[in-house]
Structure 1
Amino acid sequence: MSPSKNQWQFYFFEGKLTWIDGGVHSNRIWLRHIIKYFSEINIDTMKFSPEEKYQCHQYQIIKTILQKKLIDREQAQKMIASRTQEIFCDIFYEENQRKLAIKIIPMTPQQLLAAGFEPSLVITNIKELLQESQQSYVSFIQQGGVSFSFNYAPFITNKEALKHEVPPHIYENFVQYFNGQNTIKNVAFKLDKDLTKLALSIIPYLKTNTIKLGQIEDLPSYVTVDKYFSNSHPTQVAVKKTAIACIDDSPLICKMMNTIVNKAGHQFIGINEPLQAIPQLIRAKPTLIFVDLAMPVINGYELCNQIKKISQLKETPVVMLTGRDFMAERVKAKVMGISDFIGKPIVEEKIMNAIEKYAK
């Protein structure tokens, strides 16, 4: 039986925490972590065992992509630990609102194995995760935070008043994201902002009723990563401007970039096969090219070197996308004539800034 939105099920394997199921916005938490940790994997197109076969379908997805060697064990454990820590924060909030009951349902190791759990994926640092979650909640309260859930969705009640209270660029973000459809957690994630700082920043506007908070439902379990990312940006610009290309072997990254580029009003050209990129770029004549650094067969630097040798493309700005955002990489990119360097996971605001700066 699946837990309700106000219940959590903890699974322990030989005394060690393996997984937490249920809780508030469990699907939203799941999708955020998929985008953050597994953005290179096109999970939407993968086939998994039927959901009813196992007790925790999300856990089985992690286990499956680990078995397929699309991620390593460390990546899986990091994702599970991060997700667990976020759930702990939700539990601390709920604990301050009501008395939580605990019900223990014993399961033998054999039953856990039959349910699809993997002993090697147990969480080994549960004490640290609990302490960090509690400290985060206490710190928020001590800094002037009030007791509201980060799963609430802010919405503006008086745009004119707000316009005179905040700088223009902040006002634009508020109008775009504080629409009653994005939780505080989602806004922080999309803008790549510290969650606590973002929550603290809106408290003055809550006190003046310029902004209010509302409760929203979790997303359905069948919502894909692609739909989640697309639906979070419903406003599209009708008139297309110039073309912008993205060369990345991950279809998911290209889908995300497609959503952002279209929203900015540009035509999108997604290229998943880097060896076929040059002919497509020559035909499309994009005004800006995003290139993934780590690709099979040919890496981003090698591809950029080829681009710069083509007369029709040599003046086109190239922005490198990478999960390896190191100073040495930035220096090398600068030497090779690469215009900018954006770290993964994909953050809309950073991509939008690059488009505004380079897509002329």
Structure 2
Amino acid sequence: MDRPAVFMEVPTHLLEVKPGFTGIVRYQDDSIATEELSSWSLFFSQGRFVFASHSLDPLERLDRHLRRLSHQIPSLTREKCLRIRQQAESLLIQDSGSMAADFQVLGWLAEEQLLSAEAIRKLSAWMSEEVLQNLLLSPSQDLKKQMIRLGTLPALGQWEVGSLLSHLQKRLEAWYALGPQITSPYQRPYFTSRAQAERLPPEQQEQLSQLLRGFSFRQLSALLDQDELLIARRVYPLINAGIIVLRDPQPPFNQLPKTYVARAATVPTLSEAPTTPLQATAALANGLQDLHPTPRATQTWTVACIDDSQAMLSEICRLLEGQNLAIHTISDSLKALMKLTSLKPDLILLDVGMPNIDGYQLCGLIRKSSVLKEVPVVMVTGHKGLIDRVKARMAGATDYLTKPFQQEELLQIVFRYLS
């Protein structure tokens, strides 16, 4: 089948600044109604690129790349990652003006010496590349440009714009060559069916079943400490063979630009991919050997859900079904602490508004328990105000989830604290 294989040239002017410019280039996409999707911030020091941020969920992006970095730095523990996230969250809540919260937190990491300069540079590069790919895929005619001059910027590492654009061009061409089967790094691979999975050798079935649990290519990159493009290439033959199906990115990532959009002109593609199951499994035999999930990524986790509403408990169980989790529900807040001490869960989902003992009081008791004090506690609340979030933090909550929530929001919490 013929399909386009020549990717358009990247709009290089988006990264062009005058020599010596220090500050921020802000791009606003007026064609996007959702504010969180519409703004890019590019940081430059003396005309050299430093960092790129996007207004879409910067905390999720930081979480994910910290997770990947933790494979390479044993001292980057879950507790340290949570501390970094909380600092970023406080910066995001504050009115930081033109400074993006994720950029500020990198400066904070350098100032506090929580990570080495090399680690910060690597983290900055991963985050920036992801943001720039999305920017360069956006229709440039819809972008409104603003220049913000600054005196100095934190020294996080600098890249020459020409070499950076050349690298991004090659990456985007590689993603484009995987279309039309793969159209986004945020797509989520699943087995098409049990019958299709059984076409694979048992060892590969087991190996892939531990990975294909609703994670996107980008999330798999964080879990496996591997390039998401490499992962996509390795599962590509199984997509062609009908063994793996791709689901759309979870909102709001489904609104980001796609890496493949069909065009009128068609030219021969890169080497033809195998399409029969036998050819596909043979092609993957070597490639998949590096995609070994870590024991932490595949163990069964215990999640305790505390809510006086049986309907809400049932809904949480339904949303988390099939996620390799042992879900325990508790409806009586008076008995919750005793049950939690016995369960020793890996994650606690705690409703705020309960009779007898409310969520804030129970969270305080959990933090005083020697058995439970380090367990992540996510407060589930119907309030979105800043005061409620601060109150949850003061009670000892690790995070919060606002009702009503979608499955993707709940799975994001699972990915953040358990994967």
Q: TM-score, normalised by structure 2?
A: 0.44
Residue 289 of structure 1: aligned partner: none
- Of all paired residues, the percent bearing the same amino acid is 14
Match of 1:235 in 2: 324
1:90 to 115, 118, 134: 134
Match of 2:103 among 59, 74, 78: 59
Q: Which residue of 1 aligns with 2:83?
A: 45
| Equivalent residues in 2 for 1:298-317, closer than 5 Å | none
Return the alpha-carbon distance in structure 2 between the equivalents of residues 154 and 138 of structure 1: 21
Contact 1:28–1:218, Cα closer than 8 Å, also in 2: no
Counterpart mapping for 1:110-189 below 5 A: 110=151, 117-118=153-154, 120-121=155-156, 123-142=158-177, 146=181, 148-164=183-199, 166-179=200-213, 181-189=214-222
Q: Does 1:203 align with 2:247?
A: no
Q: Match for 2:107: what amino acid?
A: K
Alpha carbons 2:91, 2:104 under 8 Å: kept: no
Partner of 1:19: 51
User: Contact 1:77–1:121 (CA<8 Å) still a contact in 2?
Assistant: yes
Show CA shifts across 1:190-245 (max 9, x none): 234443332123334434554132221369xxxxxx9xx9899942469xxxxxxx
Structure 1 residue 50: deviation in Å? 4.0
Q: Which of 246, 250, 271 is residue 212 of structure 1 equivalent to? A: 246
Q: Which amino acid aligns with 1:198?
A: I
1:144·1:200 contact (CA, 8 Å) conserved in 2? no
2:150 aligned partner? 109
- C-alpha distance in 1, partners of 2:221/2:142? 31
SS of 1:137's partner is helix
Give the superposition deviation at 1:36.
3.2
Query: Structure 2: how far apart are the matches of 1:68 and 1:50?
Result: 15
- The 2-side partners of 1:77 and 1:10 are apart by 16
Give the aligned length.
223
Decide whether aligned partners of structure 1 residues 125 and 171 sit closer, same or farther in structure 2, where only a CA change above 3 A counts. Answer: farther
1:302-358 Cα deviation digits (max 9, x unpaired)? xxxxxxxxxxxxxxxxxxxxxxxxxxxxxxxxxxxxxxxxxxxxxxxxxxxxxxxxx
Cα 1:72/1:125, change in 2 over 3 Å: farther
Secondary structure in 1 matching 2:145: coil
Question: Who is 1:331 aligned against?
Answer: none
Aligned to 1:247: none
Aligned to 2:42: 10
Q: Distance in 1 between matches of 2:217 and 2:65?
A: 15
Instruction: Tell me: CA distance 1:200–1:71, structure 2 relative to 1, closer, same or farther (3 Å).
Output: closer
Gapped regions of structure 2 (runs ≥ 5): 1-25, 29-34, 254-295, 304-319, 328-344, 347-419
Name the amino acid aligned to 2:217.
I
Give SS of 1:133's match.
Answer: helix
Contact 2:48–2:159 (8 Å) recurs in 1? yes
Deviation at 1:75, TM superposition (A): 2.8
For 2:210, what is the secondary structure of its paired residue? helix
Greater than 6 Å deviation, 4+ residue runs = 229-233
**TM-score normalised to the size of structure 1?**
0.50
Report how far residue 148 of structure 1 moved. 0.5
SS of match in other structure, 2:146: coil
Q: Once structures 1 and 2 are overlaid, which stretch shifts more, 134-143 or 73-82?
A: 134-143
Query: Which residue of structure 2 aligns with residue 29 of structure 1?
Result: 61
Task: State the secondary structure of the residue aligned to 1:154.
Answer: strand
| Alignment partners' CA distance in 2, 1:25 and 1:152 | 17
Q: Give the C-alpha shift of residue 22 in structure 1.
A: 1.2
> Using the alignment, how far apart are the partners of 2:226 and 2:53 within structure 1?
26
